[in-house]
Amino acid sequence: MKKNHLSLTSCRKDILSALLDVTGTISYTDLTDLLGNRYNRATVYRTLKVLEKKGIIRKITIDRRQVLYEVQKSQRDLKMHAHFFCRKCGNLICIEEPVEIPVQIQENFSTEDAEIVVKGLCVSCKE
């Protein structure tokens, strides 16, 4: 937190602890269930936005109704990052291999980050 110039508030600490305790990703609803009534919804939402802006966590948008959060594990995670989302069981799997943006970006634009979510059926659901 110090290297990101953020003080460690109790809300930030509790949210990061919850994110680190889960394997992979967590939804806002599951996160607030874990936190209980310690913080109001607006405080949790603002804290998630700050942590995302500072690159401490990543927000993964599956569709308009489903957003998940995960802790950034490395500097590589800040750049190109891909996930596989199973439409049947809802499992989200991190794709560890490096990812390239599959589209041409105009010459005068600069890319800061890309979020790629590949959707389909996982091995278990495919059978």
pTM given for the model: 0.72
Report the domain count for the chain. 1
Residue range 16-69, pLDDT digits in tens: 999 999 888 899 999 999 999 999 999 999 999 999 999 899 898 888 888 999
Whole-number pLDDT of residue 24: 82
Please give the full DSSP string across the chain, using - where no structure is assigned: -GGGT----HHHHHHHHHHHHSSS-EEHHHHHHHHTTSS-HHHHHHHHHHHHHTTSEEEEEEETTEEEEEE--SGGGGSEEEEEEETTT--EEEE-S----SSPPPTT-----EEEEEEE--HHHH-
Percent residues over pLDDT 70 in the chain = 87
What is the domain-level CATH number for residue 77? Answer: 1.10.10.10
CA atoms within 13 A on the CB side of 71: 15
d(CA 43, CA 46): 5
Segments forming the whole domain that contains residue 86: 2-126
Confidence class of residue 1 from pLDDT cuts 50, 70 and 90?
low
pLDDT digits (tens, 9 = 90+) for 78-96: 456 788 999 999 888 888 7
